[in-house]
């Protein structure tokens, strides 16, 4: 009978609270847009909502990068 390789089990004793950082971009784009849309023009003639959304891309990238770096430091990434 062929043996199946053991399935990798995720570590259960480690905390993964840092993954809550991935909620920040969602809240940035969904929860705060009504507020950002009500702000009048700023930064010359550029609408504040445009500046807000571009800043959201930077915040989202930073949050994903932070979670990646924390996972890599803890050794929780899949190895090829």
Given a cut of 70, whether residue 37 has pLDDT beyond it is yes
Eight-class DSSP state of 32? S
At residue 46, the 3 state secondary structure works out as strand
Tell me the C-alpha distance between 32 and 34, whole Å: 6
Task: Taking residues 58-68, report their average pLDDT.
Answer: 91
Q: What average pLDDT does this structure show over 39-59?
A: 84
As a whole number, mean pLDDT of residues 42-54 equals 82
Contact 21, 63 (CB under 8 A): yes
Long-range contacts of 39-48 (CB under 8 A, 24+ apart): none
Highest-pLDDT range among 6-15, 25-34, 56-65: 56-65
Which pLDDT band, with edges at 50, 70 and 90, does 52 fall under? confident
What average pLDDT does range 38-67 have in this prediction?
A: 85
């Amino acid at each position: 009978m062929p043996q199946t390789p053991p399935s990798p089990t995720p570590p259960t004793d480690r905390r993964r609270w840092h993954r809550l950082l991935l909620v920040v971009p969602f809240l940035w784009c969904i929860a705060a847009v009504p507020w950002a849309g009500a702000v009048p023009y700023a930064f010359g003639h550029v609408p504040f909502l445009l500046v807000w959304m571009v800043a959201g891309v930077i915040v989202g990238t930073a949050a994903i990068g932070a979670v990646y770096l924390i996972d890599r430091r803890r050794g929780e990434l899949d190895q090829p």
